[in-house]
């Protein structure tokens, strides 16, 4: 069901293939992966309810952003997602270990575009980093004649981010301004940089199996995403949570998510009501699991790339 919906959405875009000589067409991988990344961002923000996060019901633990802020940010970032793919495509002659250098300038410009439309509010900084890596890896793989499935994307990201923790955390001064660096020096947690350096184990070992199992058991895409978000919250050492609520807040998130995952529900409505209750608890404690939300969008994107790598080819 999810496969068909995704492909129907993609094939509505006439730019997925561009013509070449002798009547052949070539897959426009920048449009493919870039649009999927945009769709992943939009799915994440519209998923409701999401405890402590901006969704269609409320602004979660945030008083400086709402749904419209996120939608405006998604729209502004859409061309940059395609640009990440194109940069990977153009950098196909370098080794995967050198790819990050070619993606970073686009990420900087994407952040500027985000801050411009949100009036300085950080809606998607973590998402830019993770989805940018995925999109860049897709372009690099495709131009090198390799499959852009999730496992291949993971290996490229591991190669290009292998020294990220050492370069940007271990060698950073103990008194730093960024939340990620500060949390590393205080607690030894490597955050999203550590995830990237290891090829996103929280996605591949936790989120992807959870999402796939839910879909195989007949869950709707919405329910599968909600269950996957809970699984991420239960496992992820989310630096967004730590920055706002400390380790006590992080442990509270994990405990609440684990409790909800092991509870039996009479209906989907009952499940949603428990999520709304968790939402109120998180808002009271100023908790926002934004790092897990970023990983959720990346999970959906990787699932779709797996599908498309099998069925969308040059023709």
pLDDT, tens digit, 9 for 90 and up, residues 211-259: 999 999 999 999 999 999 999 999 999 999 999 999 999 999 999 999 9
Q: pLDDT tens for residues 148-188?
A: 999 999 999 999 999 999 988 888 776 666 888 889 999 99
How high is the pLDDT of residue 8? 58
CA dist 240 and 291 (Å) reads: 6
Domains identified in the chain, total number: 1
pLDDT at 4: 46
Burial class (CB in 10 A: 0-12, 13-18, 19+), 106: buried
Domain span at residue 135 reads 2-311
Which is higher by pLDDT, 20 or 267?
A: 267
Residue 47 has pLDDT above 90, yes or no: yes
Q: For residue 137, count CB atoms less than 10 angstroms from its CB and return exposed for 0-12, middle for 13-18, buried for 19 or more.
A: buried
The pLDDT score that the predictor gives to residue 174 is 63
Q: Per 3-state DSSP, what percentage of the chain is helix, strand, and coil (rounded to 5)?
A: 70, 0, 25
Over residues 7-35, mean pLDDT: 73
Range name among 3-12, 100-109, 213-222, 280-289 with the lowest pLDDT average: 3-12
Residue 72 has pLDDT above 90, yes or no: yes
| pLDDT category of residue 10 using cuts at 50, 70 and 90 | low
- What whole-number percentage of the chain has pLDDT above 90? 81
Q: How confident is the model over 241-251, as pLDDT tens digits?
A: 999 999 999 99
Assign 266 a pLDDT band (cuts: 50, 70, 90): confident
* CA–centroid distance for 163 within its chain: 21
Quick one: pLDDT at residue 285?
Answer: 97
- The DSSP element (H or E) to which 30 belongs, if any, is helix 29-46
2 pLDDT more than 50: no
Give the whole-angstrom CA distance, residue 199 versus residue 157.
6
């Amino acid at each position: 069901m999810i496969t068909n919906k995704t492909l129907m959405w993609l094939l509505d875009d006439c730019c997925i293939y561009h013509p070449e000589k002798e009547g052949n067409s070539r897959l426009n991988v920048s449009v493919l992966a870039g649009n999927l990344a945009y769709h992943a961002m939009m799915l994440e923000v519209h998923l409701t309810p999401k405890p402590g996060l901006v969704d269609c019901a409320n602004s979660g633990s945030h008083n400086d952003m709402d749904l419209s802020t996120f939608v405006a940010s998604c729209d502004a970032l859409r061309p940059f997602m395609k640009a990440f793919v194109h940069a990977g495509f153009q950098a196909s002659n370098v080794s995967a270990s050198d790819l990050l250098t070619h993606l970073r300038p686009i990420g900087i410009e994407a952040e500027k575009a985000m801050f411009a439309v949100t009036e300085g509010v950080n809606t998607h900084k973590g998402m830019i980093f993770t989805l940018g890596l995925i999109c860049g890896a897709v372009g690099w793989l495709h131009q090198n004649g390799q499959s852009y499935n999730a496992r291949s994307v993971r290996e490229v990201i591991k190669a290009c981010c292998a020294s990220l923790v050492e370069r940007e955390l271990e060698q950073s001064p103990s008194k730093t301004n960024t939340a990620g660096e500060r949390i590393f020096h205080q607690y030894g947690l490597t955050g999203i940089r550590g995830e990237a350096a290891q090829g996103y184990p929280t996605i591949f070992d936790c989120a992807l199996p959870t999402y796939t199992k839910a879909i195989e058991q007949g869950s709707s895409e919405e329910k599968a995403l909600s269950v996957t978000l809970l699984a991420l919250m239960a496992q992820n050492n989310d630096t967004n949570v730590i920055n706002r609520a400390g380790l006590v807040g992080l442990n509270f998130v994990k405990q609440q998510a684990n409790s909800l995952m092991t509870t039996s529900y009479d209906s989907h409505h009952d499940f949603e009501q428990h999520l709304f209750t968790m939402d109120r608890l998180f808002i009271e404690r100023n908790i926002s699991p934004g790092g897990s939300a970023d990983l959720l969008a990346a999970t959906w994107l990787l699932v779709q790339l797996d599908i498309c790598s099998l069925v969308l080819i040059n023709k």
